[in-house]
Structure 1
Amino acid sequence: MSAEQAKRDTSVITRHGEVGIVDLVMVSDTSEGNKLVKVRVRDLRIPELGDKFASRHGQKGVVGLLIPQVDMPFTTEGIVPDIILNPHAFPSRMTLGQLMEAIAGKYAALSGELMDASPFYKIPMDEIQAKLMDFGHLPDSTEVVYDGRTGEKVRNRIFFGVVYYQKLHHMVADKIHARARGPVQILTRQPTEGRAREGGLRFGEMERDCLIGYGAAMLIKDRLLDNADKAVIYICEQCGYVGWFDRNKGRYVCPLHGDKSTLYPVTISYAFKLLVQELLSMAISPRLILGEKVS
Structure 2
Amino acid sequence: MSVSTTSSRTVERLYVLDAGIAVAPDRSVYTPGKWQGEQVMLTCNAYLIRRAGQWTLWDTGIDDAIGRESGGRVIAHNIRGIVVRTIACQLADIGITPADVSRVILSHAHFDHVGNARLFTHATWHMQRREHEAMFGPDYAQHGYMPPLYADLARAQVELMDGDHDIFGDGSVQVISTPGHTLGHCSLLVRLPKSGPVLLSGDVAHDSYNMVHRCVPTMNADAEASRQSMARIAAIVHAEEAQLWLNHDTVQSATISHAPAYFD
**TM-score of the pair, normalised by structure 2:** 0.20
More strand by share: 2
Larger radius of gyration: 1
More helix by share: 2
